[in-house]
Chains A and B, each alone.
Chain A
Amino acid sequence: MPGAFDFSHPPFDALTPVERSELIRQIDIEYHAAGSTIIEAGSPMLALYVVMKGLVTGGVDHDVPIAEHELFDGKALLEGRCAHAFSAREDTLLWCIPREAILQLSQRNTTFAAYFYQDVARRMAELSPSPHQLSQATLMLTRVRDACASPVFYLPADASVLDAAQMLQARHVSSVLIQTAQGCGIFTQSDLCQLVSQGLVPATTRAADHASFRLHTVEPDATLHQAMILMMRNGIHRVLIAQNGEISGVLEQLDLLACLANNPHSLGVQIERASSIDELKQVSARFTPLIQLLQHSGMKVTLIAELIGELRQKLLAKLFALLAPAGMLEQVCLLALGSEGRGEQILRTDQDNALIIADGYEHPELTSVCAQFNATLLALGYPPCPGQIMISNPAWRLSVSGFKQQIDAWTYSPDSEQLMQLAIWIDGTAVTGNTTLLYELQSHLKRWLDGNTSFMAHFARAIEQFPSPLGLFSRLLTHADDHLLDLKKGGIFPITHGLRSLALEAGIEPRNSYLRLAALSGGTVISHSLAQDLAETLSFLQGLQLKYGLQAQAAGRQAVNLIDPTQLTALERELLKDALGVVKQFRTLLRHHFKLDQL
């Protein structure tokens, strides 16, 4: 048979060789001149079309491009009827696969079938490219030097077991090294346990007599896997890290475990224990590897965001607590704003923070504490906010009554910049300090909104700020220009702002988009199925943002929201089209709900 049909594109790549040869016997080819209609709206859909050459457009507004290797129309095929017309934008050759053939293959091949699921949410959930479950494997290839090893402590040759026990206790370690004329020996908790159980008196027993002088070492460049094998082979709980005879640390089984689990929990504990800014810097540096690991292991982006959001708020809280003089925390409230406040920011982004000060509270160091706070964050790799939304800026460091005035100003004569500031403020979450200060301001805003319902339309209007990128997308698909697609403006912002507006209107408390969505789902505006579509769409877009953000960071670039659709995988492109379709649907709904046309 002619080998021209390309099975390397989804969903056909999911077919087995037998299924492929079955399919290829049923394919026809159609030719349509530019400008001609391929399928009339409302006509029966008897075949699935795959573009062999040319460009087709279709969809409600006839603006969804279908380029080479792409197909149309899965939904219509299932329904057997085509709701929208499709026509040839360029001279087009199409592969036609009879409907029956697709339906039969779908019954046997579930991956293939998933492609044709009717609802976008299910399609995205099934098809979202999930990275391989490599976490364990890659972890084991982590170098010993990158693991979090314990420091070494030495005792002289004549030290007693009691001295050793006291050192173990004081240093929170499980082993010490004893320096003797014969070389170094290791004395461990289990040695202590053993000799005590034998009835020996710790104060009068030399630790060196019970230490082990056969030391097992690994080099810093060895992998964790090698270290683990060494422990298993010798039945030991720790190995020394040494290079050229110089011992630099102890790698405990527990450290290995902590590394394997690489649990965000241990990072959280480290933040809480940190007693200096330098320690915070060390912890902060471990965020990116952790994010990479979580992303790589296929964890869903919403869960990553939740974990990282939590950790980052802890970090901010700790940093402020370290800088603030005694008594200040009770009088102020530190807020994380914008996406950080919603707990949806995964990669480091611009600082967005504010400080509420109790009315009447003054402290001579307040200004310098705030300046240091922002400067330290900068040193930790958080770029300053271009809009100066930072506590070092007096406009975002106000008393409760100051913020009340500010809220009144934002809402009094709304221009687009003030509305955006209000939007960022609304997503604010108290990170540390006296949270009642925030509650007071929230109820102030709520009281005002209850009396000014017409304000909501102005607030929601920002969803119209950036045009839908579908058009841009089509050019990219067909001409591979160096145009870039802005995930945030084109997809994430319309969803988050739409949800923010609806949540504000309905008086829904949570800041997180998914929680807002859960609260709105099934209500008067958002049906359950649209809520599902939106949740999957948002997490798909955030997943892309994370994946390509990490790639940009790995290449030494600042993670931005611009992606080049040509670098996406074919499947990601397909899903992105679905996603932008959902965004468009949501926009239309918001436009209608807030009566944006009447403004």
Chain B
Amino acid sequence: MSQRPIPAPSPLSLRYWRQRWLRSRLLKAEFDFLLASEPAQEWVSIDCETSSLDPRNAEIISIAAVRISGRRIVLSNALSLLIKPSGVLDPKSIPIHGLRAQDVAQGLAMEDALSQLLHFIGSRPIIGYYLEFDLAVINRQLKPWLGMALPNRAIDVSGLYYDRMVSAYNPEVDLRLERILHTLDLPALARHDPLNDALMAAMIFLKLSKNPNMT
């Protein structure tokens, strides 16, 4: 595995112009670090619990992130935040995440939480399970405030898993988390604790990306 830092994009590349365009949109200059080059061998696995299951109006009520460095999951320095939602919790979502209105009332304001999250992520690629939903919810909150969505590369472990498993003989891949964990022989932790979910995504990522024996 290469340890070289990834070089800054050259002015001839599309990436250079994308970074420039994004930088021009950035409303808060202190978050310029998001647009730096990716550090080698570092990733961040994230997971959110939300107030509803519809990304158009769901609000984040808790968010967790854990860094991966090489083959190590840096659990000792994980981020785990509780956020005060602006609206009311959808009663249907409460049994899933187990957080009631009085629990989240202690949480951080959305902007504080997002700021901590962005500092934690930096310019690292983001890992997650069904990341699209989490990113959609985060970006909906982020855009009006930061001027842009998260610019980081996103790696969905269910996509990695699909690519690894799919074949002409096996066109239907079961992408349920339990199934993935079982197939990869990874421990299943309690679900719907965002840190556990982020941790499981991180383990899946390591197993799929760091194992020379898997075909």
Contacts and interface: CB of A to CB of B under 8 A. Distances in A.
Interface string B78-100: 00000000000000000000000
Given A3-B190, A31-B207, A93-B186, A26 B72 contact: no
B187 interface: yes
Contacts of B58: none
Contacts of B73: 28-31
B187 A30 contact: no
B213 A2 contact: no
A35 interface: yes
Contact of B185 (A4, A25, A53): A53
A104 to B, nearest CB: 14
B201 to A, nearest CB: 12
A34 B213 CA distance: 8
A53 B186 contact: yes
Nearest to B212: A33
Interface string A29-61: 111111100000000000000001100000000
A52 B202 CA distance: 15
A26 B76 contact: yes
A230 interface: no
A250 B25 CA distance: 102
A93 B76 contact: no
Interface residues of A, number: 21
Contact of A29 (B75, B190, B193): B75
Given A2-B193, A29-B203, A31-B207, A91 B185 contact: yes
B187 A31 contact: no
B196 A4 contact: yes
Given A25-B76, A27-B76, A30-B71, A2 B203 contact: no
Contacts of A555: none
Q: Quick one: which of A25, A31, A33, A98 has the most chain B CB within 10 A?
A: A31
A52 B187 contact: yes
B75 A2 contact: yes
A2 B76 contact: no
B211 A33 contact: yes
Contact of A53 (B72, B187, B199): B187
A28 B75 contact: yes
A96 interface: yes
Q: Quick one: which of A26, A52, A91 has the most chain B CB within 10 A?
A: A91
A587 B86 CA distance: 72
Interface in B143-198: 185-187, 189-190, 193, 195-196
A98 B75 CA distance: 12
B210 interface: yes
A599 interface: no
A454 B88 CA distance: 91
Contacts of B193: 2
Nearest to A4: B189
Given A4-B196, A53-B185, A33 B210 contact: yes
Q: Quick one: which of B195, B211, B212 has the most chain A CB within 10 A?
A: B211
A27 B210 contact: no
Contacts of B71: 30-32
Nearest to A47: B72
Contact of B74 (A28, A33, A35, A93): A28
Given A28-B75, A31-B71, A2 B206 contact: no
Interface of A: 1-4, 25-35, 52-53, 91, 93, 96, 98
26 contacts: A2-B199, A3-B189, A4-B189, A4-B196, A4-B199, A26-B76, A28-B74, A28-B76, A29-B73, A29-B199, A30-B71, A30-B72, A30-B73, A31-B71, A31-B72, A31-B203, A31-B207, A31-B210, A32-B71, A33-B210, A34-B213, A52-B187, A53-B187, A91-B213, A93-B186, A98-B76
Interface of B: 71-76, 185-187, 189-190, 193, 195-196, 199, 202-203, 206-207, 210-214
